[in-house]
Amino acid sequence: MITERVEAERRAVEHIVLGAFGELTGRRSAPLRYAMMDDTPVGVLGLASGARGLRHLSYVKDEDEFLRRLLAEHGDVPVLRTAALDDVRRALERYFAGRRLDFDIAVDLSDLPTFQRRVLDATARIPAGRVATYSEVAARAGSPRASRAAGNALHVNPVAIVVPCHRVLRADGSLGGYGGGVRIKEWLLAHEGARPATL
């Protein structure tokens, strides 16, 4: 079977590259695979997945910046460019086209501290078209008085858009901050119909 040969070659090639990674750079953990999406309505996005799901979806300048960030953040992890990550890419394309605003892709947040993970889990349950406040998210994460900490946890959300931290606003209805820039937060909310488009 051709597909079996292709699969055998893929595995052998991966083995060779991971071997070289270990020998030359000391990076021997399970690999991260990354891909770029260059022209989305919100600019350049970098995606990175491990075996258990998506671990990064970031606003970046270009591939080099994203790659350096991944390598710096994951000191013992080999990082490989991939043409795949198709499920994530397709889900994002559907999102940007407005065909489907919710995501059902696996996200791996297991590296993060418990509180941050709880905040992100609570945020992931805000449906498209709706918003919540920082203190509501803190309460749903089990720490009703930690709204400032919740804001910080959201600010360093490693998986933007898919974990929709842009749906979390200040209690007075103002936008608050956003890692990708407040204009992008505004765009995403308007795209989801949660806020009238301004400008």
Q: Provide the residue type at 16 as one letter.
A: I
- Picking from 30, 43, 20, 21, the residue whose alpha carbon sits closest to that of residue 160 is 43
* Only segment of 21-29, 141-149, 152-160, 175-183 that touches another protein (CB under 8 A): 21-29
| Alpha-carbon gap, residue 180 to 146, rounded angstroms | 23
Can you tell me which of 29, 53, 73, 80 binds another protein, judged by CB under 8 A? 80
Helices (H), the chain: 2-25, 63-73, 86-97, 114-124, 134-140, 147-155, 182-191
Under the binding rule (CB under 8 A), the answer on residue 132 touching another protein is no
Can you tell me which of 52, 61, 81, 90 binds another protein, judged by CB under 8 A? 81
Under the binding rule (CB under 8 A), the answer on residue 37 touching another protein is no
Under the binding rule (CB under 8 A), the answer on residue 50 touching another protein is no
* Contact (CB, 8 A) for 33 and 49: yes
Under the binding rule (CB under 8 A), the answer on residue 34 touching another protein is yes
> Toward another protein, which CB reaches closer, 10 or 145?
10
- Picking from 149, 87, 84, 90, the residue whose alpha carbon sits closest to that of residue 115 is 149
Q: Provide the residue type at 31 as one letter.
A: P
What's the full length of the chain, in residues? 199
Active site residue 33: no
* Only segment of 23-31, 50-58, 87-95, 150-158 that touches another protein (CB under 8 A): 23-31
CB of 58 to another protein, least distance (A): 16
CB of 147 to another protein, least distance (A): 38
* Per-residue binder mask for another protein (CB under 8 A), 59-78, x = binder: ----xx--xx--x------x
* Contact (CB, 8 A) for 10 and 80: no
Catalytic option among 165, 168, 184, 189: 165
Q: How many CA atoms lie within 13 A of 118 on its CB side?
A: 16
- Residues that are catalytic: 165
Q: What residues line the site for another protein (CB under 8 A)? A: 9, 12-17, 19-21, 23-27, 34, 63-64, 67-68, 71, 78-81
